[in-house]
Amino acid sequence: MTGKGAGHQRGDTLGPTDPRLLGNPLDFIAEDHLRERQICAEMDQLAKTRRDDPELLADILNFLTEELPMHLADEEQDLFPMMVLRCDPEDEIERVISRLQGDHLHAKADTDQLADALRAASDAQTPIDDTAAARLADFAGKARRHLILENAVVLPIARKRLKPRDLDKIRANMMARRGLDRIFEGF
């Protein structure tokens, strides 16, 4: 993690989401979404300026290789299946989730290419090239559209439909995914 993440506060999006927010996994996911929006802004900045900024590159790379895969797993392995189980037919959640899963597949494919391009620029201590800049801007735009759907549709329905025991199960899986299950036993 870059130096700017040290001692960050909830909502500042300066570092990975604080695991203490796992008390409510939906709040944690919402905070992850804020973090992703911040990274999208950083991607746009890097795509425009193309400057050689090791800290900015490291922040984006950490997000792409560490934070994003964990977040996608939280949604795909826990949140989405639980919502399919609990939502009413009129929620049409399966259609929404199908679209989101398609977005996730594209994001995963794009992430590897972006990370490779950013690593190359970082290793060479040079600005990113035109292709990487275009990919960053494209990734950020797609991510923002994806987040709008998750924040405006999925999370409000999840808050309404998921039961406390569902949230407990999601929390336990998210903690285990992060290796925190033993630390917070009895949480």
Q: What is the CATH number of the domain that holds 138?
A: 1.20.120.520
Query: Would you report the helix, strand and coil content of the chain in percent, each value rounded to 5?
Result: 80, 0, 20
Mean pLDDT of all residues in 106-129: 90
Mean pLDDT of all residues in 129-139: 94
- Residue at 70 is within a domain: yes
Domains in the chain: how many in total?
1
- Residue at 142 is within a domain: yes
pLDDT digits (tens, 9 = 90+) for 143-173: 999 999 999 999 999 999 999 999 999 999 9
Q: Residue 169 sits in which domain range?
A: 23-177
Please report the sign of the dihedral spanned by the C-alpha atoms of residue 167, residue 61, residue 137, residue 39: positive
